[in-house]
Amino acid sequence: MTDASPLPADHPPVGEADVAAGLRAVRAGIRRAAEDGARDPAGVHLVAVSKTVPAESIVPALEAGQRLFGENYVQESMAKWPALRARYPDVELHLVGPLQSNKAQDAVALFDVIHALDRPSLAKALAKAIARSGRSPKLLIQVNTGGEAQKGGVAPDAVDVLLAECRGTHGLAIHGLMCVPPVADPPSAHFALLAGIAARHGLPILSMGMSADYPAAIQMGATHVRVGTSIFGARTPKA
């Protein structure tokens, strides 16, 4: 799950956004939020969420030096990223949307970081895919901090059990946590909850914060913010 916040009425659609200008604005916002929180801005990594964005609209971000990108859909990513990576081989690709177990092999082959590990069956599928491919993407556990039925993620009080199973049963290295707070809630409490769980387990990566709330996430310790709309423009909602 990523950037699903309501869009300003004047936000340009994908294809008409000034991607380089959007990147500059977001990078400036990250720097301000980090400095306000007495953090080094270099410790906050921008994942530019390019889900549903055509390859030609991603190129301006690549040309502006952006190298971390987030996608929601394995099939879409397989169609557009191999050619882009041939031109920009230092790209780091993040899967930030939900992952079906039957797509684990493809995901492991393509992505460098997978943000949405949230159940034992997926942990098992990822472990098998990693063993077969020899690739070891960084894995994050998604936490459903708001207990929303429509969202993926493990309940906060079940993280310990899932983490132990990932490590002990499946031999997976878990690098961090991810969350998407409820749209109607003030996000800081959710970010603080996630940060507390991560600290308890010594997990270094905190993936939290999107276009509408990434400054608050940075204040609460985010290491990775997932921003799409503010860079690439408004997506057309799926029917």
pLDDT one-digit tens code per residue, 48-96: 999 999 999 999 999 999 999 999 999 999 999 999 999 999 999 999 9
pLDDT higher for 3 or 105? 105
Q: Is the pLDDT of residue 8 over 50?
A: no
Q: What's the pLDDT tens digit per position in 122-151?
A: 999 999 999 999 999 999 999 999 999 999
Question: How far is the C-alpha of 95 from the C-alpha of 25, rounded, in Å?
Answer: 24
151-171: average pLDDT? 97
- Per-residue pLDDT, 107: 98
pLDDT higher for 66 or 238? 66
Average pLDDT, the chain: 93
pTM: 0.92
13-30: average pLDDT? 89
- Per-residue pLDDT, 9: 41
Provide the percentage of residues in the chain whose pLDDT is more than 70. 93
Provide the percentage of residues in the chain whose pLDDT is more than 90. 90
109-125: average pLDDT? 98
Question: How far is the C-alpha of 49 from the C-alpha of 69, rounded, in Å?
Answer: 6
| CATH tag, 19-232 | 3.20.20.10
- Per-residue pLDDT, 14: 78
